[in-house]
Amino acid sequence: MKLFRETVLIILAIFVLASGINLFLGPHDVAAGGVTGIGILLEEVLGIDRSIVVLVLNLLMLLFAFVFLGKEVFLKSVLGSLMLPLALGIIPETMVVSDRFFSVAFGSVLFAIGVATLYWFGASSGGTTIPPLIFHKYFKLNTSVGYFLTDATIVVFNIFVFGLEEFLFAVASIVITTFVMGYIEIGLERKKAIFVTSELHADEIRNYLLTSLDRGMTVFTVEGGYSGEQKKMLMVVMKRSEYAAVIRAIHQIDRGSFIIVYNVADVHGLGFNYQPVV
């Protein structure tokens, strides 16, 4: 059942990714890296359907993965490699949004959601994700550098095929995709972590936090840099919706309390339920 569910979600992620290409990026001649970018470029230059280009390149990359990276990487890449060209062939190229900026922005978001979901399940759409892994294994080249060099080379060809403006939009698409993927990978529901020190009311603040948030906390023994006296510092993580009320309550208990606040990207366990975006 779990394997079936994951397979269905991987296929849905592939179709989301393909929708970003065929409905938003492709119609505006934006080739933002990857085999889909190569497909858009060759479709313009040679007239070959991009789904055929992607299929041929993905099959070639699958062969490289099997020979150079082994069976495990091959198996993780095979479903996405075969489904992506199929999805590109099924979804018609249609200009959904005429404004190029909004089309590129939304297409990049869809692309990021699809790729991030694939990564979550340890899968990939194959293609240009394979060579950086090979270079890393045999030449110790950092994979992030390999991905960047591969996509950068493809994006540069936008200048020669479509023009400078399309090149700039392709760069913008990569930036948006990278940002959204990073945001998804570390969780959408951000939290606040607060550190509180109080000279006289540390126990009162501790009791309030325990009863109001119904969540555990950490108590540190710290030493004042000037006085040398030992104090208690409380650390607790909370939802953003709880933050304002907690700060007001702490100030009511001790207006002179010292508070440090951090933005926290992701929290697991101890009163927090982690729900991945899939």
pLDDT > 90: percent of the chain: 27
Secondary structure letter of residue 34 according to DSSP: H
Report the alpha-carbon distance of residue 150 to residue 144 in Å, rounded. 10
Tell me the two tokens of residue 269: 């366990």
Query: What's the pLDDT score for residue 274?
Result: 40
pLDDT score of 277 more than 50 = no
Asked which of 162, 185, 208 is the last residue of a domain, the reply is 185
**Contact between 209 and 217 (Cβ < 8 Å):** yes
Q: How far apart are CA 111 and CA 25, in angstroms?
A: 9
Residue count of the chain, please give it. Answer: 278
What was the pLDDT predicted at 192?
86
Number of domains in the chain: 2
Q: Are residues 161 and 107 in the same domain?
A: yes
Query: Is there a single domain that holds both residue 109 and residue 153?
Result: yes
262: tokens are: 């951090």
Based on the fold, state whether residues 219 and 180 are members of the same structural domain. Answer: no
What pLDDT score was predicted for residue 143?
65
Distance CA(71)–CA(77), nearest Å, equals 10
Domain annotation covers residue 156 = yes
Domain that holds residue 258: 191-264
Task: Choose between 120 and 35: higher pLDDT.
Answer: 35
Q: What is the pLDDT of residues 204-242, one digit of tens each?
A: 998 888 888 777 788 888 887 777 788 889 999 888 878
Distance CA 21, CA 93 (A): 8
Which tokens in the block code for residue 208? 């309030």
Lowest mean pLDDT of 42-46, 148-152, 221-225, 269-273, name the range.
269-273
Residue written as token pair 């951000």: 190
- Mean confidence (pLDDT) of the chain: 84
Element (H, E) at 42: helix 34-46
Q: Which of 125, 157, 185 is the last residue of a domain?
A: 185
> Rounded CA gap, 1 and 223, in Å?
54
DSSP 272: B
85-94, 131-140, 144-153, 173-182: range with lowest mean pLDDT: 144-153
Q: Cα 51 vs. chain centroid, distance in angstroms?
A: 25
In this structure, what token pair is assigned to residue 183?
């945001």
| Neighbour-count burial for 131-168, b at 16+ CB within 10 Å, e otherwise | bbbbbbeeeebeeeebbeebbeebbebbeebbeeebbe
Q: Convert the pLDDT of each residue in 46-90 to its tens digit.
A: 999 999 999 999 999 899 888 998 887 788 788 888 898 999 999
Evaluate if residue 127 carries a pLDDT over 60.
Answer: yes
Residue 22 lies in a domain: yes
Reply yes or no on whether the pLDDT at 271 is more than 60. no
Same domain, 112 and 239: no
Query: Full-prediction pTM beyond 0.85?
Result: no
